[in-house]
Structure 1
Amino acid sequence: MKFTVLTLFPDIVKVFFENSIMAKAVEKEIIAYDLVNIRDFALDKHHTCDDGTYGGGAGQLMMPEPLSKALDSVNARKKYVIYVTPSGKQLTQKVAEELSHKDELVFICGRYEGIDQRIIDSYVDAEISIGDYVMSSGEVAVTVIIDTVYRLIDGVISPESLEEESFCDGLLEYPQYTHPEEWNGMKVPSVLLSGNHEKIRKWRLKKRLMKTLLNRPDLICSARQNGQLSQEAEKMIEEICEQSFEKKMKKHRSKKAAKTN
């Protein structure tokens, strides 16, 4: 797969491609990339790429002329173009999986107040947001999307590492431990040392359900709607809820008894 990034600050993105797992993927030629400096296509000697907005308002907007020339230089009209913006469709694991099947992705890194709408209307296939917040750097947001996508490409990461990650089946990941067996008085759960793979599987499933119920109960609802929860998982959820209720009642009784005394 190839990632082409159009940016005013290519050095920010370049570092991402030159380190860690991504660097290895590039070296193995699993991943290719091209960084295009939009300023190279500016029309004046000052390399101006932004101007004020029609209708008034604070901030500057990226101009269409340099950006369109940069897009044409990579033949963007025949490729899948993504503009990263807070007003775009939310990035999810499902979206990342869909993007991982593309041969090439072209990213536009926004700056200032964004880009001229006419560029979006003429070139952009998808507007994607990495979350409900605003950043000053489209470059940082683009690396987040690329990172979620490239690791799904065959040969980048072993399939086993992807099987039980958070969101892979609608649930968050279970807690994990490594050496030493005891650290700061805290021990690795005994079930993980038992060698009993079935017990370990059940423990991990229950922990995934507990973590998801605590941090992202909305994911449980979605998993149910999509038919992703097994009967075993549903039974565990009932047990977890019952135990949680009993724990709350016990705490309530203890508080009531303390007030009485």
Structure 2
Amino acid sequence: MKIEVLTLFPELVEQVARFGMPRVAVERGAMQLSTRQLRDYSGNRWRRVDERTFGGGPGMVIQAEPLTQAIEAARAAINDQQGPAKVVSLSPQGERFDQRWAERLSAEPGLILICGRYEGIDERVAPQIDLELSVGDFVLSGGELPAMLIVDSIARLLPGVLGHEGSAASDSFSNGLLDHPHYSRPEVWRGESVPEVLMSGDHAAIRRWRLKQGLERTLLRRPDLLNELKLDAEQLKLLREIVIEQLHEQDGAHR
């Protein structure tokens, strides 16, 4: 996969490929990450790419011409190597980025990520953009950190990057639920023991315990996720068990 990031701060974005799974993805050839400095397409001696917004008001806007030239250059570089690239604008007005989006984007042959700055980008560039994504309902100084987040989330999904092929499939959100608790050695730490079921060697019981724990965490921490899922018979049964257990705990606490 080839990713081009259009930004005013390429040195910042490039850091993501020096650590963790993005570094592994680059080293193994699963991902190529390049940045393009928008100022290289400014066309003026001051290397400016921003101008005041029409209609008045505070802030500046990234101009259409330098951004369009950068998109065209990035598109040509990717299309020559990988095939058609999807252009993604990182904006607080976009659709919420989540694990499902990470999975979809990781299947693309190439991506062009636009890092907005100031008040945003000239609206006339919109026809060249395939989709807008937001990493949350808050405002950042620009799209660089969201771009790095997206690169990291995609890199670990690429074939051959993770040490265990099942790791990505068992992560939080991959099945729509939060992840179950994890334990490691020693078996007893400061008086706290690893749950017996994990020491039993009974793989069916372990799988059921992990599923139930994931459901319980999701119910307690992110109940909104359950509204988006179509639970199977086993999950519904476990969810009923969890609710009954919680009701018994509350009843006991009130006595």
TM-score, structure 2 as length reference:
0.92
1:61-140 alignment runs, 5 A limit? 61-75=61-75, 79-121=85-127, 123-140=128-145
Paired residue for 2:234? 232
Identity %: 40
Q: Deviations over 1:106-150 (max 9, x none)?
A: 0110111111111123x1001011111111121001111122222
Distance 1:115 1:12 in 2: 20
1:1-261 alignment runs, 5 A limit? 1-75=1-75, 79-121=85-127, 123-157=128-162, 158-224=164-230, 229-253=231-255
Distance 1:91 1:133 in 2: 13
Distance 2:209 2:250 in 1: 23
Distance 1:21 1:152 in 2: 9
Paired residue for 1:256? none
Structure 2, gaps ≥5 residues long: none
Report the AA paired with residue 130 of structure 2. D
Structure 1, gaps ≥5 residues long: 254-261
Q: What displacement does 1:162 show?
A: 1.7
Question: Displaced runs of 4+ in structure 1, greater than 4 A?
Answer: none
Q: Is the 8 A contact 2:85 2:108 kept in 1?
A: no
Distance 1:120 1:184 in 2: 57
TM-score, structure 1 as length reference:
0.90
SS at match of 1:71: helix
SS at match of 1:135: coil
SS at match of 2:244: helix
Distance 2:28 2:137 in 1: 35
SS at match of 2:141: coil
SS at match of 2:167: helix
Distance 1:230 1:161 in 2: 22
Distance 2:17 2:190 in 1: 37
Distance 2:224 2:73 in 1: 43
Q: What displacement does 1:91 show?
A: 0.9
SS at match of 2:229: helix
Distance 2:213 2:74 in 1: 47
Q: What displacement does 1:248 show?
A: 1.4
Between structure 1 and structure 2, the one with the greater Rg is 1
